[in-house]
Chain A
């Protein structure tokens, strides 16, 4: 069937199949090596290439930002993208495919962890080099990784358990404030909390503790929603969670101790790209294992039919409680990272707009799918960043796109697809 459709339209089909022939033997590691090569090339010769093509400086985000401001620069930007990104990635990926495949096959025979760590190391190296060019890229990457964590943890509640929880920005705010207070009290001399209690040098080492404290705070907050969820579902739970969001926001606004509506600033910059990357990988790894565990399957059972799940000896209360607290925990961690990346948080940022963005990422990417969450968070963050020069029109364009996705793919782009790491790092050919 698929083959028929492909051969039915000769030009596009031919193009697609030649593309496929070109890329089929390249394993993931080949692409990662290619990206690393492209990043190195940009580091070494990016400025020179940009100068030759008549650009003022290296296009920071594949040239989207420039293209909207100066339409005349579009050919230069396209040429830059092809020369610096597309060609090196394709060349390195394709040419290195035979030896890399042998290497990947050798790694594949070792325990899975080794192979995954090598891949992650390459990915991180490429990202690190790519983002080394400017602080803007570092900030954007950090926020994107945080968005992945948020989307994934919200997908746990809204996708895997099938509730419609609106309280995620609230959990995030709890985590952000708890982690900030932890760092500020212990490691920073500031006006609100006075002298630092511990030497500042210990700060980066205890940062995970701060984040986990934030996550735990959010998980405790999640009890407010988890307990009513024993008795009610659907719309009423949506309202309870919405009320929770408003309560958290209003509570922080009224706490003068943490700065009230002005927010809390001065968090030490512990959350560099490395830290955020590691936490994001941890989050994906743990949540992916969780949803594939017995308890994770119990979430799906509770979503599909609560009574039947109960009859099959699933403890629905424990399941709901775990899902809410676990999702909130990761939202809290993401919040702590967010606070330390931006080094300033205000209660006003955890508002309905942020809720709409998170929900959009979850439902755009796809319910019940780790893969979908990653794709949804990445694509919407990049889109939102790339369309920034359009200002207001961006907020008409993105909603329109989402409406179209909802109409034509009501379950999101990649819903109900298992995220199988073993398949991803498999050698090709």
Chain B
């Protein structure tokens, strides 16, 4: 039983990464009706930006130039990385997606993949292929709750992720900007005619999604202190699957499906040999989509590529 709960804890942590990334896919989809295939690599870039900021601040603090406790470094890292990554997201939107807004959606998909490749190889070019280890900003404290091992990092990761998701939910459901986003998702032809600035909303959506991806990247760096330039591919595509599984454009669905994917992966690895993890996880997803073709929380309306 403790083994089970231990895995629940691990799955929650894994699920938070997936959910944070999947939210970015889902929000962009609901506004622009296209998937931002560069999102996985934005996550990777966010993790590296976090790595750069954290390393810089740690070095400065160690040299005594500035006096900062480690937790403050972490908070600053998260904030700065969120800001810079959302800038990157807006840049990607401006250069890669805005010119293609009326193009066939498949072209936008190709562009997204290509932007992802550029980010990946740009990173390889700048930093080289070796893996980087994220600075250990907080001392790991271990709690033993009835045999289940909890660490302060895991608690922080899951708690902060949940808070962020709830904040996003409030933002979308309570503010005027959120109202504009929901309106745009409802109809992106008529709503811009009513004076809602579609470019600003698109930029905002990319910024929000990228900021969340940056948080996921930093948390990933804290939990598994290695970063490599290809992490965006693996995590990005899995989170994309989660976004679809949740029902495209459904923020709630993306969150739940992200956690679900974490649970499926961890529990498959618990029961079966871990090499079978992908095989079984994707078979389950394929099964779900065959019987619920519009995802768990998606609306059943006809999806057509605008060719």
Interface residues of A (CB under 8 A from B): 158, 162-164, 224, 227-228, 231-236, 238-240, 242-244, 246-247, 249-251, 253-254, 303-304, 352, 356, 359-360, 363, 367, 392-393, 395-396, 399-400, 402-403, 406-407, 410-411
Contact A234 B125 (CB under 8 A): no
* Cα-based distance from A254 to B279 in the complex (angstroms): 9
Which residues from B are CB-within-8-Å of A363?
A: 106-107, 110
* Cα-based distance from A354 to B114 in the complex (angstroms): 13
Most buried by A among B35, B124, B304: B304
Contact A399 B118 (CB under 8 A): yes
Residue of A nearest to B95 (CB): A403
* Cα-based distance from A239 to B289 in the complex (angstroms): 9
Contact B282 A243 (CB under 8 A): yes
Which residues from B are CB-within-8-Å of A396?
A: 117-118, 121-122, 125
**Contact A407-B99, Cβ < 8 Å, known A232-B293, A359-B113:** yes
> Would you call B237 an interface residue if the criterion is a C-beta within 8 Å of the partner chain's C-beta atoms?
yes
B94-122 CB contacts (< 8 Å) to partner A? 96, 99-100, 103-111, 113-115, 117-118, 120-122
Known: A228-B289, A247-B278, A356-B113. 9 other contacts (CB 8 A): A164-B105, A224-B286, A228-B286, A234-B304, A247-B286, A395-B118, A399-B114, A403-B114, A411-B104
- How many A-B contacts are there with CB distance less than 8 Å? 138
Smallest CB separation, A140 vs chain B (Å): 22
Which residues from A are CB-within-8-Å of B22?
A: none
* Cα-based distance from A411 to B49 in the complex (angstroms): 35
**Contact A254-B241, Cβ < 8 Å, known A235-B248, A356-B117, A403-B115:** no
Residue of B nearest to A352 (CB): B233
B161-194 CB contacts (< 8 Å) to partner A? none
Q: How many residues of B contact A (CB 8 A)?
A: 48
Contact A233 B96 (CB under 8 A): no
Contact A395 B237 (CB under 8 A): no
Smallest CB separation, A165 vs chain B (Å): 11
> Would you call B141 an interface residue if the criterion is a C-beta within 8 Å of the partner chain's C-beta atoms?
no
Contact B293 A235 (CB under 8 A): no
**Contact A392-B124, Cβ < 8 Å, known A303-B307, A363-B106, A403-B115:** yes
Contact A399 B295 (CB under 8 A): no
> Would you call B285 an interface residue if the criterion is a C-beta within 8 Å of the partner chain's C-beta atoms?
yes
Which residues from B are CB-within-8-Å of A246?
A: 278-279, 282
Which residues from B are CB-within-8-Å of A352?
A: 233, 237
Contact A251 B109 (CB under 8 A): no
> Would you call B130 an interface residue if the criterion is a C-beta within 8 Å of the partner chain's C-beta atoms?
no
> Would you call B270 an interface residue if the criterion is a C-beta within 8 Å of the partner chain's C-beta atoms?
no
Which residues from B are CB-within-8-Å of A400?
A: 114, 118
Which residues from A are CB-within-8-Å of B303?
A: 232-236
Residue of B nearest to A227 (CB): B290
Which residues from B are CB-within-8-Å of A158?
A: 106
Contact A250 B100 (CB under 8 A): no
Of A163, A242, A251, A304, which contacts B241 at CB under 8 A? A242
> Would you call B65 an interface residue if the criterion is a C-beta within 8 Å of the partner chain's C-beta atoms?
no
Residue of B nearest to A225 (CB): B286
* Cα-based distance from A228 to B244 in the complex (angstroms): 15
Of B106, B120, B121, B282, which contacts A247 at CB under 8 A? B282
Between A and B, 14 residue pairs with Cβ closer than 8 Å are A232-B293, A233-B305, A234-B303, A242-B241, A250-B276, A356-B114, A359-B113, A360-B113, A363-B107, A406-B107, A406-B111, A407-B100, A411-B104, A411-B107
> Would you call B140 an interface residue if the criterion is a C-beta within 8 Å of the partner chain's C-beta atoms?
no
Of A162, A250, A399, which contacts B278 at CB under 8 A? A250
Which residues from A are CB-within-8-Å of B240?
A: 239
Which residues from A are CB-within-8-Å of B113?
A: 356, 359-360
* Cα-based distance from A356 to B111 in the complex (angstroms): 11
Contact A367 B285 (CB under 8 A): no
Smallest CB separation, B34 vs chain A (Å): 9
Smallest CB separation, B39 vs chain A (Å): 14
> Would you call B133 an interface residue if the criterion is a C-beta within 8 Å of the partner chain's C-beta atoms?
no
Contact mask for chain B residues 254-298; partner A; CB cutoff 8 A; 1 contact, 0 none = 000000000000000000000110110011011001100111000
Of B99, B110, B278, B305, which contacts A234 at CB under 8 A? B305
